[in-house]
Chains A and B, each alone.
Chain A
Amino acid sequence: MHDNHFERMEAVMAAGRAGNCAQLEEALADRDWRIRFTAAVAAGECGDEGLALPLVALIDREDLQPLYSEPRMSAVSSDAASIFGSDLEFDGQVTDEEKAAWQRRGRVKQAAILALGELGIRRPEVLSRLHRDLLDMKQDYMVRAACAKALGELGDRGSLSFLQQACEDDEFCTRTEACKAVAQIERMSGNE
């Protein structure tokens, strides 16, 4: 049992490299978002299709969290703070869950979405979530861009209309990944 989050992150990454899917699946549901993030990164690289549904479940659980709501906080001065920034005091109403949500914003979702693309599984429940988040302007652009990239890797022609809309996204990374994905799917279709 590891109680140090860094060592647990290391262990999860090692599990991914070793193809230990059971450990990764467990880590994808960990209470600590840092472990979940690491597990999602590792999941994409371990290549086990069995991780697709746990990754989808992870995305769904993330969607229930207040990822993009900045908690109320104020700065506290100190000698060290004048060098590297203020210490913080949170409003008494702010829960640990809200703090952790703001810390990670779209990080865990991005990692899960990229992993789904890397695993290459064109399941309807995967595609539907990626299509939805790709065009959801209430998602961080890091999440939208990851959706575009993953959809390009999945190569489903049914994604084209969504991606073509995303090619008009104001944000550069999303627009670029979407246009690349369209070209990638067209190319893959041509080769089939």
Chain B
Amino acid sequence: MTPLYIADLAALREKLERAEGEHSRIGRVWRAMRKAVAAKPFDYYWHVPFVALVTEDSGAIQAAKEVLRWYVAALDSRQYSSGLQFHFWCMSFPHARWAVYFQWLQALGAWEDEEAKALRQRLLDYQFLNFFYGLRTKPEPECADNQTMSLALSNALLGTIFEGELAARMKVDGLRRLPDTIGGLRSSGYSGEGSTYMSHVVAPCLPFVVELLNQHHGEEWFSRQLPPEGGSAEAICRMTGRLFMPGGYMLPWDHYGYITGTRACLAYAAQKSGDGWYLDLLRQVDWSHEESAGWGLDDLVWSLVWWPNEEPGSSGRAFRGWAEPEEGAALVSADEKLYLLQMWDRSEPKMPTRQHVNPNALILAAYGVPLTLDGIPIHQLCTVFDYDDTWRIIRNADFAEKRGNFGSGCGGAHGIILLDGWEGMRCGSEYRQAELLAYSEEEQSVTADVTPIYRERWPDVRRVVRRSRLCHDRFWVIEDLIVCGDVHQATARWYLREGLVGSERGVCTENAEGVRLHLVPVLGPDEKEWESVAGYPDKLDGRSLRVDFHQRGSVCRWLWIAWPHQGREEIEDLCEGWRAVPDDTGELDFSSAREALARSALTLPFTEPALLVGEAPVARTWWYSRCVDLPADTEIWVRLPADLSDATLWVDGEEQTLEEHVPTMRLIGPHVEVSRWGGKQVELVVRTTVANNHRLDNSHTMAGFSGRPALLAACGGGGFETADYADGVITVTADGRDYRVEHTLLPEEVEHA
């Protein structure tokens, strides 16, 4: 019997052995996974079946069997859970993988016949009673989303793995519907639901779907464009990759906001397409912990499975520009430090929840950190999006009714043009909401027309267009044009990172990482107001600065200069040379840890958890220390890795709270100011929790950290001075020099070809 999805087990073993010998990325992941499972199999239970399959270690096999028994035993009580009743799709994809893991153990000959029969029957009837039923709930073919894909896959998969009447019946529906779950996505590959559902459900599910279709039909489905919308697996993989931004996190497009992403689908795409870009991208993202993938914790397992046996050559860069006529376009500087996304994808009519109203909204990032914000609010803290016209009655699955507000999906919650102050802006019906007018990678320019979504409410609106340009690979020029038959109040709304800095024109912010954004209208009024919005978004700083620029007229135009400035520079790399001490039981205090560190012979990089970077034991808590000489008479910061959990820093024996950096440090390494120790040599001590424990009662299920610690100092000089527009030329004085950009304004009338 061949283990499902692993056509050549010997080749997989050889790939992992070779990678481990080469200390490559997947080699280090595999080694860490193997060691963790050997030490604590039931803590790392999502990884146990894979380790058992690859190593055939008897201990791992016994542990994997025990985990499968526990999984099946838990199905009885799960049948009563509200989670199963109301969100059955979340259970279906994990169920499919546990069925695969059961089959792997069967392929190893690990089960006695009687036990295998009992487990098989329970896996099957649970599937039939819950997920066959669930799939039949979803309209065919209209439902093409993460939920339907999960349900169709689980039916097709269990129907394939097992035999019998129920299995055969489920296989028919599951296999029939799988192509629709790919083809129902737009040809761009974007699901419209945002990075979370793309990267954490659709993308992890996709390789299982494609491989099953390949196996069943005996032909290749990866690149095939499918009806009804023209989606393809390849396009979905490509879009999933495009959702990553420089810095390694994912776009806050539509629902949920900035997040870290999964890796397995990109490894699969590299294997299927032979395009080295996917591996270039994977070298830039966080591998330090498991990600929730399809409501399970085995993204690393499948990353190793799908990783190509022969790695394609590098494409030269991980982040590059792109445009999709139905969705948006990205402009990326040659050094990958400046990033702009302009989005105009479909929003959901009437009650936009996941597919937000974001016509021509911009995401700007520079030097690895976001400058603008999008996402969802912390509802307990943030009520600014509870607009009067966006209340609705929500009927829960238990039939209880409550009032809810969907304003955070509407126009007012996004960096767009608002007309006459309508913050609850949304579509009332289905129509084409936007059009890409021009995109040039060479000229680093994109223009999109979003008139229809405004014209629905105001029939006199003739044009609402935004053009974005990346100029001199150094700054952005953004033009907004609103042309109407009547006079309207236009508001250009921006959601920026907090940190308002005094500025004569426009607005200037400096975020927690010292990156400044000067946003200056060189054409159009500078009449503005700003407000700090606590609780929006729920990611990064957990707050934002909302800036509204206003003008009134039948023709309104702004020409913006958006100038990013990196206020801090790296003066010393602190990645290497940290003494390390494991503290699995968490019994060390600072004093005893410091003594242990002084005695420790274990020296590690402080860039990823110990298990990934060196010969280290499996332990939940780790202490690190190293000495550093701090320069005098300048502002200085220590940058730590991102995503440290329960972390504390001591500088020269003095505890520094990292509280103010939560939740930003989930995605971005915190900068801790240490200027007052300038001129001294100090010891840095860090304690952090890295336990990669999969248990449900553990708050550190996905703990890990990743990044390059460094000593930073304030940059001297440079930055933005002035900007003007005259006679078709933008002149910007900054960084001690003049930048000149020819810019022809957008025409007020629609151009006809």
Partner of B695, one of A10, A82, A99, A107: A82
Interface centre among B121, B122, B138, B139 (most CB of A within 10 A): B139
Q: Which residue of B lies closest to A100 (CB)?
A: B79
Q: Which residue of B lies closest to A45 (CB)?
A: B169
Binds B, one of A48-56, A137-145, A183-191: A137-145
Q: Which residues in A have their C-beta under 8 angstroms from that of B398? A: 68, 70
B705 within 8 Å of A (CB atoms): no
Q: Which residue of B lies closest to A102 (CB)?
A: B80
- Secondary structure type dominating chain A contacts: helix
Q: Which residues in A have their C-beta under 8 angstroms from that of B50? A: none
Q: Say yes or no: B74 contacts A85, CB within 8 Å.
A: yes
Q: Say yes or no: A70 contacts B82, CB within 8 Å.
A: yes
Known: A83-B42, A83-B71, A110-B137. 4 other contacts (CB 8 A): A71-B80, A85-B74, A103-B79, A111-B133
B751 within 8 Å of A (CB atoms): no
Q: Say yes or no: A105 contacts B85, CB within 8 Å.
A: yes
Q: Which residues in A have their C-beta under 8 angstroms from that of B77? A: 85-88
B210 to chain A, nearest CB (A): 26
- Of residues 63 through 84 on chain A, the ones whose CB sits less than 8 Å from some CB of chain B are 68, 70-71, 73, 79-84
Partner of B143, one of A38, A80, A110, A173: A173
Q: Which residue of A lies closest to B138 (CB)?
A: A173
User: Once the chains are docked, how many angstroms separate the CA of A177 from the CA of B74?
Assistant: 34
Task: Place the interface of chain B in its size category.
Answer: 35 or more
A157 to chain B, nearest CB (A): 22
Q: Say yes or no: A10 contacts B164, CB within 8 Å.
A: yes
User: Once the chains are docked, how many angstroms separate the CA of A172 from the CA of B354?
Assistant: 13
Q: Which residue of B lies closest to A5 (CB)?
A: B125
- Of residues 29 through 76 on chain B, the ones whose CB sits less than 8 Å from some CB of chain A are 42, 45, 67, 70-71, 73-74
Q: Say yes or no: A10 contacts B166, CB within 8 Å.
A: yes
Q: Which residue of B lies closest to A4 (CB)?
A: B121
Task: Place the interface of chain A in its size category.
Answer: 35 or more
Q: Say yes or no: A34 contacts B166, CB within 8 Å.
A: no
Q: Which residue of B lies closest to A149 (CB)?
A: B139
B350 to chain A, nearest CB (A): 10
Q: Say yes or no: B695 contacts A83, CB within 8 Å.
A: yes
Q: Which residue of B lies closest to A169 (CB)?
A: B395
User: Once the chains are docked, how many angstroms separate the CA of A61 from the CA of B697?
Assistant: 41
Q: Say yes or no: B125 contacts A9, CB within 8 Å.
A: yes
Partner of A82, one of B80, B125, B128, B696: B696
Interface string of A155-192 (1 = CB under 8 A from B): 00000000000000011110011001000000000000
A119 to chain B, nearest CB (A): 16
Q: Say yes or no: A68 contacts B399, CB within 8 Å.
A: yes
B136 within 8 Å of A (CB atoms): yes
Q: Say yes or no: B165 contacts A13, CB within 8 Å.
A: yes
B162 to chain A, nearest CB (A): 11
B552 within 8 Å of A (CB atoms): no
Partner of A41, one of B71, B134, B137, B169: B169
Q: Which residues in A have their C-beta under 8 angstroms from that of B694? A: 83
B304 within 8 Å of A (CB atoms): no
B1 within 8 Å of A (CB atoms): no
Partner of A83, one of B45, B78, B143: B45
Q: Say yes or no: A142 contacts B137, CB within 8 Å.
A: yes
Interface centre among A104, A107, A114 (most CB of B within 10 A): A107
A14 within 8 Å of B (CB atoms): yes
Interface centre among A6, A68, A87, A137 (most CB of B within 10 A): A6
User: Once the chains are docked, how many angstroms separate the CA of A84 from the CA of B83?
Assistant: 13
B722 within 8 Å of A (CB atoms): no
Partner of B73, one of A13, A80, A110: A80
Partner of A114, one of B78, B136, B393: B136
B397 within 8 Å of A (CB atoms): yes
Q: Which residues in B have their C-beta under 8 angstroms from that of A138? A: 399
Q: Which residues in A have their C-beta under 8 angstroms from that of B165? A: 9-11, 13-14, 17
A95 to chain B, nearest CB (A): 14
Q: Which residue of A lies closest to B42 (CB)?
A: A83
User: Once the chains are docked, how many angstroms separate the CA of A102 from the CA of B78?
Assistant: 12
A180 to chain B, nearest CB (A): 7
Q: Which residues in A have their C-beta under 8 angstroms from that of B392? A: 170
Supposing A88-B77, A173-B138, A173-B139 touch, asked if A79 and B85 sit within 8 A by C-beta, the answer is: no
B427 within 8 Å of A (CB atoms): no
A136 to chain B, nearest CB (A): 10
- Of residues 3 through 32 on chain A, the ones whose CB sits less than 8 Å from some CB of chain B are 4-6, 9-11, 13-14, 17
